[in-house]
Every structure is written in C-alpha cells, then in structure tokens.
C-alpha cells in the first residue's frame, strides 16, 4: 500500500566496524516509537514506513480474526503494509510505526484535495472482521488514543475519517458498525442530527459530497461511502433529500470548525 525506500546499502567496511554499521542499519529500519503520555501500548515495530507530519487520523478495520494475525501482516516486510497503531478487541494497543514516520496504510487515496493520505495521516487499525460490532473496551481504548493524538499533534476535529471515506469503491472500513456518532460526541470527527437546514437548490449531490471531502469521480461509490459513515441505517444506494440536508449540515459544521481553528 506504499512504496519503500531502497534498502540500506550493503555494509562493506572493515570487520572492526561491521557491528556498528549493522546496528545503524537496523536502527533505521525499526526506530524507537515515541510514547504518548498516559497511553500504554505494546511495541511491535514495523519496518514499513517513511517520514512525514500527521494532520489526519484514518481509521481502519483489519478484516482478520485476531490481533496476532493482523500483527503478522502489518510487520511483514514482504506485505508492504503497516499502520501506526493496532487496537485489539480486548483493548490492548500496539504501536507499530512512530507517529512522525509515514506508515503504509491508506494506499491510493483522496480527501479534500489530498492524494497521498499516507503522508498526512496517522493510521489506526481496529481488530475487527468488518461484520461484527466493536467492543466497548476497544472503543474506550481508541478514544484514549485519539485524545492523546489530538493533543499531541493539534489534529483538527474534522480530520478524523475512515479508510472507506478516502478510498470509496475500494475500501469499506471501518464498516457500518463503527460508532462515528459516539466519536464525534467526544470531539473526533463531525456529526449532524436533525432538524437540518434547507439545501440551496443550485447545489447538486456531487458538489455536496466533494465539498465535504469525497472523491466523486466514482459518484455511486462516494454516495455509498458517505452513507456508510453518516447514515448507516439507510441501505439505499441513492442520495435522498435527507442525505442532501445532512451533507449540507456537515459542510457547514466543518467550515465553522475551520473558522474557529478547531
């Protein structure tokens, strides 16, 4: 889901320096992971990363049956995929890539004009097969982690999004079971409840979704992604009048937060 840098050049120094060179190469591949205050994690460093600065958090589900199976994938150099954190079903949190490094979790992506979310985001995998509810202990641990990340990096409230939002038609995680409304109530993401204001008739459906952040090149996929996130109780494939009003409300909320600098 990303491109790796060339592996370290073969160390051809004298025998006296060999161990030092190898230690240096190893430290580049698996750096220490910066701890977050008040967050207890089990470190499982992954070598799959580049350097960057985070301004978004992208949430995923693993689609696996266990955290250990996911960890094997996320730390396997041959798989070329990783995330910064994995939150297990039992609430255990694993740190895989340092927050200041570029993990390979988003793949081909787009959000609000950005086409390389790996370079701008922290990726969090949730131990979930995509068809099951999320456990209370897992969500509680996630909320603690999000609070620490938001404080550490001053991540804007609207910039907590899902993999399905940035890759509509290709990804669906973290599934319709994910409690986006709960997260928004805690300051992670945006949400609107009715009643909604009327939408200006000159604004069509594609413009609404694009203004919110979605890539509307595949319009039907963008609609599905929007409804999975903000209206999961409605399985219909088309934008309804309610969906239009909801999208317009979310846009206004996003703009208000940006104006406040939060």
- For residue 52, give the 3-state DSSP assignment: coil
| Dihedral angle, C-alpha 206, 209, 213, 214, nearest 10 ° | -70
Query: Cis omega (within 30 of 0) on the bond before 51?
Result: no
Q: What is the pLDDT of residue 27?
A: 40
Residue 15's Cβ-count burial label (10 Å; 0-12, 13-18, 19+) is exposed
Catalytic residue check, 125: yes
CB 91 within 8 A of CB 154: no
Q: What is the pLDDT of residue 52?
A: 74
Q: What is the pLDDT of residue 18?
A: 35
Which structural domains are found in the chain, ordered by start? 38-187 (3.40.80.10), 190-262 (no CATH)
What is the rounded distance in angstroms from the CA atom of residue 66 to the CA atom of residue 88?
8
Chain centroid offset of residue 211 CA:
20
What is the rounded distance in angstroms from the CA atom of residue 212 to the CA atom of residue 206?
10
241-260 vs 205-212: helix axis angle to the nearest 10? Answer: 30
Helical (H) or strand (E) element with 158: none
Helical (H) or strand (E) element with 182: helix 180-185
What is the rounded distance in angstroms from the CA atom of residue 123 to the CA atom of residue 163?
9
Q: What is the pLDDT of residue 31?
A: 60
Q: What is the pLDDT of residue 30?
A: 56
> pLDDT tens, position by position, for the chain (262 residues)?
332 333 343 333 333 323 323 333 334 445 678 888 899 999 998 888 877 779 999 999 999 999 999 999 999 999 999 999 999 999 999 999 999 999 999 999 999 999 999 999 999 999 999 999 999 999 999 999 999 999 999 999 999 999 999 999 999 999 999 999 999 999 999 999 999 999 998 999 999 999 999 999 999 999 999 999 999 999 889 999 999 999 999 999 999 999 999 8
Of 29, 34, 125, 136, which is the active-site residue?
125
What is the rounded distance in angstroms from the CA atom of residue 68 to the CA atom of residue 84?
15
- Buried b vs exposed e over 39-55: b needs ≥16 C-beta within 10 Å? bebeebbbbbbeebebb
pTM, two decimals, is 0.84
What is the rounded distance in angstroms from the CA atom of residue 118 to the CA atom of residue 225?
19
What is the rounded distance in angstroms from the CA atom of residue 12 to the CA atom of residue 67?
39
């Amino acid at each position: 889901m990303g491109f790796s840098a060339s592996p370290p050049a073969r160390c051809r120094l004298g025998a006296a320096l060999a161990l030092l060179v190898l230690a240096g190469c190893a430290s580049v591949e698996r750096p220490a992971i910066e701890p977050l205050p008040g967050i207890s994690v089990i470190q499982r460093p992954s070598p799959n990363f580049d350097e960057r600065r985070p301004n978004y958090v992208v949430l995923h589900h693993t689609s696996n049956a266990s955290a250990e199976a996911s960890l094997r994938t996320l730390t396997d150099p041959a798989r070329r995929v990783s995330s910064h954190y994995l939150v297990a079903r039992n609430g255990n949190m694993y740190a895989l890539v340092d927050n200041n490094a570029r993990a390979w979790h988003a793949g081909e992506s787009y959000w609000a004009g950005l086409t390389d979310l790996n370079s701008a985001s922290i990726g969090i995998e949730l131990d979930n097969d995509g068809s099951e509810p999320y456990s209370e202990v897992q969500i509680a641990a996630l909320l603690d982690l999000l609070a620490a990340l938001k404080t550490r990096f001053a991540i804007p409230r609207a910039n907590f999004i899902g993999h399905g939002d940035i890759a509509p038609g290709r990804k669906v995680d973290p599934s319709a079971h994910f409690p986006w409304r709960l997260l928004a109530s805690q300051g992670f993401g945006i949400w609107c409840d009715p009643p909604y204001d009327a939408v200006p008739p000159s604004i069509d459906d594609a413009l609404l979704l694009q203004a919110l952040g979605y890539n509307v090149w595949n319009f039907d996929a963008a609609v599905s992604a929007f409804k999975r996130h903000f209206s999961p109780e409605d399985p219909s494939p088309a934008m309804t009048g309610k969906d239009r009003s909801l999208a317009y409300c979310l846009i206004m909320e996003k703009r208000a937060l940006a104006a406040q600098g939060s």
